[in-house]
């Protein structure tokens, strides 16, 4: 099944207030460069369709595996980039939903009797993705439609640990879901990784949380993202503890 990836850049309004249009345009440029660079690295790059408009990207991918792989690339690259507090920090919110192959995400027509006005219309899956993204969940998270999370997707992205595989898809218990999406979506743990890379991601999360302390809006997203990091760590510990517990003998 084909999948639509929708990613929105967070914090643009704050950048506009702080630095005016040049600051916002710089954020758009960096976001566009990040998405395009990672799209070119995707194994499915020649089959991707969609568009990037200012602070949002909508990309139709051949399969859910391709969509999740692409958003993981975009998020990890954007997350690791800042090395100093004054550097631009990319915070994003993403959604992955099913889409029919070959569907035009946006159609353009000319308004009747108004030849100078174009009428833009979004396809249903894109409207769904936008609605979920704007539903109110916080943090640098990716919500994926439950219908896409099948055995193939789980197997492709499972992470080998010393005990049992970690499946990076889960309905979170401590990170909120708005009512409108709570029943049909779950999180993709884009930050989950093997030990060495996980350590890098954790250190970067710690720095980002500290750097964001002076900006209340950014701190909300940083704190919400930190909660997801803790969820992943909790799952890691749970897997390790479950494997290390001795099996009880059945009483006769």
167 assigned to some structural domain: yes
Q: At 112, which CATH number? A: 3.30.70.1230
> Domain count of the chain?
1
Give the pLDDT score at 249: 56
Q: Report the C-alpha gap between 220 and 223 in whole angstroms.
A: 5
45 assigned to some structural domain: yes
Give the pLDDT score at 164: 83
225 assigned to some structural domain: yes
Query: Among all chains, which residue has been given the structure tokens 């290390």?
Result: 244
Give the pLDDT score at 250: 54
- pTM for the model: 0.90
Instruction: Give the count of beta carbons closer than 10 Å to the beta carbon of residue 82.
Output: 16
186 assigned to some structural domain: yes
155 assigned to some structural domain: yes
Check: CB of residue 127 under 8 Å from CB of residue 120.
Answer: no
Give the pLDDT score at 208: 94
252 assigned to some structural domain: no
pLDDT beneath 50: ranges in the chain:
251-252
Give the pLDDT score at 163: 77
Q: Is 94 helix (H, G, I), strand (E, B) or coil?
A: strand
Query: What CA–CA distances, in Å, run from 102 to 1, 184, 243?
Result: 12, 24, 45
Give the pLDDT score at 236: 85
Domain of 160 in residue numbering reads as: 3-243
Q: Report the C-alpha gap between 1 and 99 in whole angstroms.
A: 7
Q: Report the C-alpha gap between 235 and 82 in whole angstroms.
A: 27
Give the pLDDT score at 166: 92
203 assigned to some structural domain: yes
Give the pLDDT score at 205: 96
Give the pLDDT score at 34: 96
Which residue stretches of the chain are H helix? Answer: 12-41, 64-80, 124-133, 151-157, 179-182, 195-211, 216-244
């Amino acid at each position: 099944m084909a999948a639509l990836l929708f990613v929105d850049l967070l914090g643009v309004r704050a950048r506009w207030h702080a630095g005016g249009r040049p600051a916002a345009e710089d954020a758009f440029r960096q976001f566009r460069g990040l998405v395009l660079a990672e799209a070119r690295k995707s194994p499915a790059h020649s089959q991707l369709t969609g568009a990037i408009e200012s602070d949002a990207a909508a990309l139709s991918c051949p399969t859910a595996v391709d969509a999740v792989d692409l958003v993981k690339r975009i998020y990890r690259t954007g997350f690791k980039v800042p090395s100093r507090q004054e550097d631009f920090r990319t915070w994003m919110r993403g959604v992955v939903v099913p889409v029919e192959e070959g569907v035009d995400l946006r159609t353009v027509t000319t308004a009747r009797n108004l030849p100078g006005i174009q009428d833009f219309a979004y396809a249903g899956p894109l409207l769904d993705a936008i609605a979920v993204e704007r539903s109110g969940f916080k943090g640098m998270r990716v919500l994926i439609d439950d219908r896409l999370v099948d055995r193939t997707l789980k197997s492709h992205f499972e992470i080998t640990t010393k005990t049992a595989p970690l499946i990076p898809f889960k309905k979170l218990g401590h990170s909120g879901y708005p009512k409108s999406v709570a029943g049909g979506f779950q999180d993709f743990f884009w930050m989950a990784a093997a030990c060495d890379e996980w350590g890098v991601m954790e250190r970067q999360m710690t720095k980002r949380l500290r750097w964001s302390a002076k900006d209340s809006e950014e701190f909300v997203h940083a704190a919400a993202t930190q909660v997801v990091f803790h969820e992943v760590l909790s799952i890691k510990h749970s897997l390790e503890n479950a494997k290390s517990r001795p099996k009880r003998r059945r009483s006769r």
